[in-house]
A and B are shown apart, each in its own frame.
Chain A
């Protein structure tokens, strides 16, 4: 480990300490993200506890197949991201670029499928607002379900878009040979972000799509 590495900031003793500090800093940021999404999950929990039947009825209008495919797409994208970090750790530049490109492609696949789902909701008047229409007496709590659906999946999709942008930057820098076995912290902490966004979806899928679908 050379203390003279060009990426070493002067306040750190060595590359190892710098890497650990960066990772810790990223985790502190992710904890604020847990609280950010946590507020939405909390509102969802309260609203669902108060209107269980309306939430179940509204949930059945979501496409479980597309939601399930997207869950698998995100999990595989987490695998390719983890393999990209591994490629960076062992200093394999070509392989790093390949896995980053694959991760981006899977992220875009997720967003495209999500786009089709949103379009379907507009088509069936399930978007909250003046155009909203829902059969039955519990239209109001059902509208609340769709408000939460769009808020939570929308915020998640925004994180996905930012994630794809981050990976695109990594790809450009990797192409210029900026990451080596000694220095690849940006790959590592962008990976943390990507996996975190995957974890959010792991909770969104059962909570939004899988309420009482056995009826």
Chain B
């Protein structure tokens, strides 16, 4: 597939959104939302990372096999964190 050339205007727009989301994550941290503070912070971080990968890193315009490698990497990271945390977060039931 021939090289896709994204317009600089898209990069400027993505940069503006990323800066706005950074401001939002800081403002949101100043409000007490209980456990939702962490959920919101991670949701914003994942959104920002996705925008960087899709547009700045051209994943959106990449061949399927490249996209598969990216998704596989994140999937395996997910397995590592999910299985480890399901162990640690359920240990207290045995000891208390």
Are A and B subunits of one complex?
Answer: yes
* Contact of B69 (CB < 8 Å), options: A28, A35, A45: A28
Which of under 10, 10 to 19, 20 to 34, or 35 or more describes the interface residues of A? Answer: 35 or more
Residues of A within 8 A of B88 (CB): 46, 49-50
Is there contact, CB below 8 Å, between B49 and A86? no
Is there contact, CB below 8 Å, between B29 and A35? no
Looking at chain B's contact residues, the main secondary structure is helix
Which of under 10, 10 to 19, 20 to 34, or 35 or more describes the interface residues of B? Answer: 35 or more
CA distance A82 to B44 in the complex (A): 21
Interface membership of B81, Cβ < 8 A? yes
Selected interface stretch from A129-137, A140-148, A190-198:
A190-198
Q: How far is the CB of B26 from chain A (nearest CB, A)?
A: 6
Assuming the contacts A42-B84, A78-B52, A79-B11, asked whether A34 and B22 have C-beta atoms less than 8 A apart, the reply is: no
Is there contact, CB below 8 Å, between A46 and B69? no
Residues of A within 8 A of B15 (CB): 75-76, 78-79
* Contact of A27 (CB < 8 Å), options: B3, B5, B44, B69: B69
Assuming the contacts A27-B66, A210-B26, asked whether A83 and B77 have C-beta atoms less than 8 A apart, the reply is: no
* Contact of A202 (CB < 8 Å), options: B1, B12, B49, B72: B49
Interface membership of A71, Cβ < 8 A? yes
Assuming the contacts A34-B77, A42-B81, A50-B88, asked whether A82 and B5 have C-beta atoms less than 8 A apart, the reply is: no
Q: How far is the CB of A196 from chain B (nearest CB, A)?
A: 7
* Contact of A45 (CB < 8 Å), options: B11, B44, B58, B85: B85
Mark each residue of chain A from 35 to 47: 1 if its CB lies under 8 Å from any CB of chain B, else 0: 1001101100110
- Please name the residue on chain B nearest to A27 by beta carbon: B69
- Please name the residue on chain A nearest to B87 by beta carbon: A46
For window 44-95 of B, CB contacts with A under 8 Å fall at 44-45, 48-49, 52-53, 55-58, 62-63, 65-66, 69-70, 72-74, 76-77, 80-81, 84-85, 88-89
- Ordered nearest first, which 7 A-B pairs have the shortest CB separation? A31-B73, A210-B29, A206-B41, A79-B15, A38-B77, A82-B11, A214-B32
